[in-house]
Each structure stands twice: as C-alpha cells, then as structure tokens.
Structure 1
Amino acid sequence: MDSSPPLKIVSKCFVKPKTIPEESKQPYYLSPWDYAMLSVQYIQKGLLFHKLLHSTDTFLEKLRESLAITLVHFYPLAGRLSTLKTDVPKSYSVFVECNNSPGAGFIYATSDLCVADVLGPKYVPLIVHSFFDHHKAVNHDGHIMSLLSVQVTELVDGIFIGVSMNHAMGDGTSFWNFFTGLSDIFQTQERNKTDDLCLKNPPVLKRYIPEGYGPLFSIPYSHPDEFIRPYESPILKERVFCFSSETIRLLKAKVNQICGTTSISSFQSLTAFIWRCITRARRLPLERETSCRLAADNRARMYPPLPRDYFGNCLSALRTAAKAGELLENDLGWAALKVHQAVAEHTSEKVSQMIDQWLKAPFIYQIDRLFEPMSVMMGSSPRFNKYGCEFGMGKAVTLRSGYAHKFDGKVSAYPGREGERSIDLELCLVPEFMEALESDEEFMSLVSF
C-alpha cells in the first residue's frame, strides 16, 4: 500500500486555441494507424522541475496562455472524437469534431511531496500516477474526455508538468513535438511578450490516407463494447535504471566486435542486453519462447516518406523471438544480431503490407492481447529531446510516466539526463522478477546509479 500523501485538485478548466483556424471547422479524419489505437490508453509523460518560481499564479497564467497559442498549431487536440455508425451492415467510423469543442484540459493540483520524495525511493512511487489526468482512460473515451490534458502539480519544492494525449491522435514523435512546442512558445512568450508566435517544427496535420481510400474509414462493428477492452496493470515494481554514454559506447563496441560488424546500433545492443537479462531473471524453462519487440517509427520508411513532423500515429512494433535456452546459451552478439535483423528487415514494402492487411481486415489493438507473456517491449525513444522542454525553469530533474501501457516486461527508453548518448530505462516487472534482476551481477554492473 502506498502511504504517500494525496493530491489536491485546486482547479480545472478547458483551454481553446487562441485563434480558431478555418480548417478546424471541418471534420478531422483518422488514419488506419490511428483507428488501431482506439482501445489502448493515453500517452502520459511528464517532467519534474525544481521550483524556481516567484509566483505560481503567474506561471499558471503564462502556461495556460502558451497552451492556447500552441493549440492553434495543434488544433485537433482541442477537439473530441465523434462517431458515425450503422447496424446493418455493421459499420463504425470515428473522426475528430473540432468545432464547438470545450477544448483541452488544464489542471492545477498541489501536494505535500518534495522532489526528493519522487527521486529518492528505489521504485517510482505510485503517487506519480496521480500527476496525470485521464487515469486508466482508453482512447475511445475521447468522445467524452479531452483529447489532451495538461496537469501542473505543485510540490513543496518542485513543479511537475504531466501531459496526457489521446494515443489515437498521435504517437511518441507527435507527443514530444507538442510538448516541445508548448515549452518553446512558453519561453518565447516570456522573452518577446507577444502572441504572434511560430513553432520551429510545426506539425504536419494532413493525415496519411492510403491512395484510393478514405478520408473516412469504417471498422466492422456497431457498438464500442465489441472492440474496447479496458486494461488493468498487474502489481508491478517500476524502476529507472541509468546507463552512461561510456557504458553504451562500450556495449555497442563489444557487440559489433563479437559479430564482426559495425552495423549494430547502440540501442539495438542495449535492447539485446535487456532482453537477455530479463529472460534470465524470469528463470524460464529452456524450451519456453520469449519475444522482444521494439517500437519503430515508420515515417522515413514509407514510400514516399512522410514528413519528420507528421502528426499522427506512424508506428510498428518489430518482433524477434527465441527459446529461452538458446537466448541465454548463446552470447550477447547472437541476441543483438536477431534484434538488428528485425530492424533491417522492416522495409517500406513491409510497412505497405501491414497497411494493406489492415485495410482488408481492420483490427483494434488491445494491450492484453498485443504482447505475449514473458516478452520484453522496448517503447518510447532516447532520440526525443525530452530534456529540451524547460518552461523557463531550467533542465528538468527527471522524467516520469503515468499508469498507461504498463505490464510485466515493459521498458521505456528516455535520453539520459546527463546528456551525450546516455540512456535511462524505465523498467516494469512483477516484484519477483524485479528482485531477481537487481541481483543479476552482469545487469547491475552496467547500471550507473
């Protein structure tokens, strides 16, 4: 039982775009990738800062104003989902209604916690989940809930900014493009005292619609109960492990030397290492299959490629698998080569095949069916410039996530706070496996702190 003091919600409101773009008066359509996300949960990521504020009220006012300006560029996030459906034949179509929407959520909360109460414990305290709105919500709930919510939680000596974004609206690239845009506008507004603010990397809002289809897709259902499955996480231990840039460099060099190549990346090397260590901690039967998945951005893999700042979902979960025995009996290079091959084989042709398959037989992802038991899933990315979001308070002291998408074997990769090419891994395991991993000498020898 978590004995942390509760949060107090001080105020809630909705924020609309500062000006209403003409295009927001039309329906905003979703792509096949977006439809597939309707039954999974919101993206929930946030940053913790030391409090350097003279006035919280002034900060909140500026952040609200910055959100209103940012939403001009990301206007679909101020909307709500809407549905057209028929019973005969079964047809269910979802789009975003931006006109006359209440807007994005904005919440101010307070807590008696200190920064040290979040950073100090070995495991991420459960109270952190309450730093985010839309707890346990699935994306289909965007019919009645805001598609975006920003929650500011004031600690005794810190500020946590937690953003919850409907995953049917975008993936991690889209999420961090928004978060970075909000921070940039906040800081530019502070310096320039003007509302005429542009983004360095404005989102490309035109959704990918396969040629000959759309813009409105339908899935073969007549009621959401047919495809929405709420997900409850098991009891997990959640801990952040830090890997220094030097450790990452040496690990990559070791793997490539073993394999006689230079093509295996740092992240592929680290993924293989984590896969083997978690599998060893689970003490699986030698014949038991274990899989490893990586979230892969398809923007550059499309033909023609989508823009880097394409706003929406454009993800695949690449999979490789092995029997526990062969994974552990072979060396690290063997595992890294399997991970590398899964990435190398994910070509534009593969992406096109996946889209074609969805168009022929539309499906909705469900977390409990998406990943096999005893698997490892590497999500998020250390490439996102997450610590570049400063909001006038300097570099964040850490990054944390909410309740969403957590299961045994879920690993989220973040850039390390120390910079360079360091990587922080947020790792979720059931208590028994976490304890075994923490006793694994090979694993702990590579952890910085």
Structure 2
Amino acid sequence: MRFTRDGVERRIAINPELKAAEAYMDGDFVMEDSTIHDLMLVIFRNKSRFDKSPNQIFWQGIDRKLRRLYQNNSLSRAIGNVQSHYDIGDDIYRLFLDKDMQYSCAYFPTGNETLEQAQTAKKRHLAAKLQLKDGQRLLDIGCGWGGLALYMAHVAKVEVVGITLSEHQLEVARKRAEILGVSDRVRFELRDYREIQEPFDRIVSVGMLEHVGVQYLKPYFMAVRDQLKPDGVALIHSISGKGPPGVTGPFLRKYIFPGGYAPSLSEAVAAVELSGLWSLDCEIWRCHYGYTLHHWRERFAANREAASAIMDERFCRMWEIYLSMCECAFLEGSSNVFQLQLARKRDAVPITRDYIAIEEARIERLEAGFVDRVADTAFAALEADARDRAPAPAQRERTPA
C-alpha cells in the first residue's frame, strides 16, 4: 500500500473499516504490485484480532445501539433504500452477472459449475423444494429482473406474481414476460410485501430478507403466513452467518446496502416461531455465495474499463471493495446462507428430504431448450428498456421558406 496524502493513516486508525474503504475509493491510498483483494484476504484471515482492537470495539458498540435506526425500513424508506442500489443502471449489472441476471447466491453442487450452470441449479433446487403443481399461484417477493419467476412458470403451469421496489427491474421483468408470451400468467408489480392481500399456494423470496430490518422480521413472517393458503409452502432464502446477531458494517451500510442487514438464524427462527408457521426444513449453504462472488469479482475486473466508462473511477474502486469484501466474508469469514421452508401444516411436503433430488431430476428434464431462451430475454429486455429511457432526439427547427 502507498498513501498519497498526509493524514490518511490517522483517519484510518480512528475508524478503520469505514475510513480505509473511503481512502481507497478516493485514491488516498493505492495498491502497488498487489490488489485490493490481496489486502482483503490479509484482513479477513486476521479478523479475529482486528475485531478486538479498541477502535473496532468502540464503533461496533455504537452500531449495535443504533442498528434499529439504521434498519428502519418503513415503506417509504424501503423504496428509497432499494432504488439506491438496484436502480443505479442495469448496464453495470450486465458486466458481471450471468445471462439471466440472477443477483443472488448460485448453487454449486460439485464446485466446478460455470456461473450460468450454478444459477440454473439454484432455480432448480428452489423449484424442487416448493413442489410446484399445475394451476397453483406463486408469489415471488423481491423478484429482481424476473428470471426466477419466469423459470417457475415454465417448470409448472403456475400463475406467478413477482413484486419489487425497483422501477428498473420491474420494467425489464415485464418486457421479458412479453417477449416469452407469458404476460397472461406471469405479472410483475411495484409493490412491497406489506401491500399484498391475496392468497397464494407458494411463496418464494430470494435475497430479500436482508432488506427487511431486524424490527420488521416478525411482521414479515406474519405477512408470509397471512398470504399462504392452508396447505401452502414458503421458501425464504437469505444471507446470514454462523454467529449471534450482529450489525451491518459501516461501509456496506453507507455505500452499498443502506438499511440492509443479514439476520442471524436465531433472529429469523424466533420471528418464524412467533408467526405460528411450521419450520419444515432449514438448509445452510456455506461456500456457495463465496464461489458466486468470486465469479462476479473476476467478471467485474475483466470489464472494469467499461464499468468506469458507465459510472466513474471512484465507483469502480467502491465496487471492487464491495465484491472482494463479500467474497472474503463467505470464504474466509463467518457468513453463510440459509433456506427456511415454511408452511401452515406440518405435512405440507413429504416428511423426508428424498423428494428434493427426485424433483430436481424431473425438473432438469424440462429445462432443455428453455433455460437459454429465458436467459437471452434478459439482455433483449435490458436493451429495449434502455431505448425506452433514452431521451428523444431534439427536433430541428424549421426555417420559414
């Protein structure tokens, strides 16, 4: 590391996690003969000592006292928090996500899958655990760019409602449904989970619980319960960690996910218990998100020049820290992912897990020729959306004859 301005070291010493990230973003220190990811590896491999430093203990204590304020995701604040991250411009996400624009943890059964294969395996695994049946109604809370909803509508003849608070994602998802000719049974809406008042046979939510906030966990699971039919099944997929409840780091909270918090398993399960739902299954994914983020980080690095042209150099340095920090959290730190399978009835799914592999094999046979076609609609819809948003060319003034 080389510091480029005087006084940077003192600022970092006072508040290491936030000020070191800001210094790198601002170019106040640079990496020579190494990368920011090399530095992240050093930090995370020594994190147990780093977290015991007096300054870290002080700032973590402040964060714990204020975490309910940070995570106050009322409806109006939730909209702003989501749009501040997901509406920065779809072109950035195209640079590092898979073709289907899946911005959540992929599933690597062998560890050797490509990113596209692993994201398809994730969707297949979710569909298998939901045990979809023709004619059912499915709610996708936090539907992103619509890939999961469209996949579910293909593997079973189900009606899907996808909800998001991102206007950009909403328009792209709707265009994808139009391209595939399924708008009659796959619709996307700009709505919050608290605004849903319809019964569903199945509910799926991938990577959205992290945007709820700790004080809203109970209302969230109560809303899931209230929208589930008596024999319905819900599958909630979220980032978490192996330790007790904590806080969101200051860099991620300020620059990447305002209002975001990955709940501990104990916090999520306590809220489920208060909802009256049955916990049918809990699956922990340990390294999968680390592998996913490794792919994202390498793809972003390969397209860094394009990213700088779309945004700017400071954004690229910020995104490098974000992707590297999160990859290390899953492969060197204590972060993981849980999937909670919930229902109103204890026997809403078979009482052993054997059915999941059987369902996955059946669903995989249905994917032939469809997975790539759905994925291709993402970029087509993004390009159509960009054209729609482009300002109309100024008309020439006519001069009188």
TM (norm. structure 1) is 0.24
Whichever structure has more helix as a proportion of its residues is 2
